[in-house]
Amino acid sequence: MTKRGAFIVIEGLDRSGKSTQAATLLKRLQDAQSPAKLINFPDRTTAIGKMIDSYLRSESELDDRAVHLLFSANRWELAKSIEETLQSGETIICDRYAFSGIAFSASKIRPGTNSYPLLDYSWCRAPDVGLPAPDMTIFLDVTQEVARARGGYGEERYEKEGVQRRVRDVFERVAEEVEGSGGRWVLVNADESEEEVQKVVWDTVKEIIGGIEGPIEKLWD
Ligand code: NYM
Ligand code: MG
């Protein structure tokens, strides 16, 4: 039986080193002659992605539920191409996925208060049910202190310490649910040096880069 590509998601807070690690992982796979491709969410190049981009850069305002659904729609518009790529035998490394979708939306506070959620956790999860499920999610866990030492956050919406702290809490619940539903969630200490994290990531994915037997699972199904 021919194997399909592995679907590897890299998740984490802003400043956790996701994009750097995803790019290095891609290079290592290519060096090992293992066909692989890197994608990221939000994919800001599509029509939906452009609306998200403008929202993140605070150039537009959108209702919190509306933007949550746009993030999900942005994944759905690429779902078919993800499946085709995996079936063709190519591995996908994906920088953020539905887990960021839940974590960032379900950590929003009600305006003028400190209480959350504004959007209920299961409401946030619902639109992503049925998407292609990752074979493995690597969560790059960075502490607030190290993120700060890396030069702090950028200018985009959500790139603030209070937001990141709440997002981290919601990610813990996401991790439990992924594991509870049979998914693989690997927590990596992202406070370590770039090289150290690279080593751990490579050791973690090595076993699945030869391909996967069996069907692509569906998320939260
Ligand atoms: N983000 C990302 C969401 O709020 N929901 C989602 O579904 C996804 C995929 O977008 N702060 C947020 C997390 C980030 C922001 O992502 C932009 P990046 O990877 O920093 O460009
Ligand atoms: Mg960012």
ipTM of the complex, rounded to two decimals? 0.98
Residues with CB under 6 A from ligand 1: 14, 41-42, 56, 71, 96, 100-101, 104, 158
Q: In the chain, at which residue ranges do the beta strands (DSSP E only) sit?
A: 7-12, 36-40, 91-95, 136-141, 185-189
DSSP 141-199: E--HHHHHHTT---SSTT-SHHHHHHHHHHHHHHHHHHHHTT--EEEEETTS-HHHHHH
Structure tokens at 53: 């981009």
Which residue, judged by its Cα, is nearest atom 21 of ligand 1? 42
Which residue, judged by its Cα, is nearest atom 5 of ligand 1? 101
Give 99's pLDDT tier (boundaries 50, 70, 90).
Answer: very high
Atom of ligand 1 nearest to the CA of 158: 11
Res. 61: pLDDT tops 80: yes
Which residue, judged by its Cα, is nearest atom 4 of ligand 1? 104
CA–centroid distance, 214 to ligand 2, in Å, is 33
CA–centroid distance, 15 to ligand 2, in Å, is 7
Which residue, judged by its Cα, is nearest atom 20 of ligand 1? 14
pTM for the predicted model, two decimal places: 0.97
Angle CA 6–8–9, to nearest 5: 155
What's the confidence (pLDDT) of residue 155?
94
What's the confidence (pLDDT) of residue 24?
98
Q: What mean pLDDT comes out for the span 167-196?
A: 97
Half-sphere exposure of 174 (CA within 13 A, CB side): 30
Nearest Cα to 119, choosing from 64, 60, 165, 174?
A: 64
Structure tokens at 85: 């790529």
- Give pLDDT tens digits for 5-25: 999 999 999 999 999 999 999
Radius of gyration of the chain (CA): 17
- Domain chopping of the chain, boundaries: 7-208
Give 153's pLDDT tier (boundaries 50, 70, 90).
Answer: confident
Q: What mean pLDDT comes out for the span 145-174?
A: 93
Name the CATH superfamily, with its identifier, for domain 7-208. Answer: P-loop containing nucleotide triphosphate hydrolases (3.40.50.300)
Q: What mean pLDDT comes out for the span 116-145?
A: 96
CA distance 157 to 138: 24
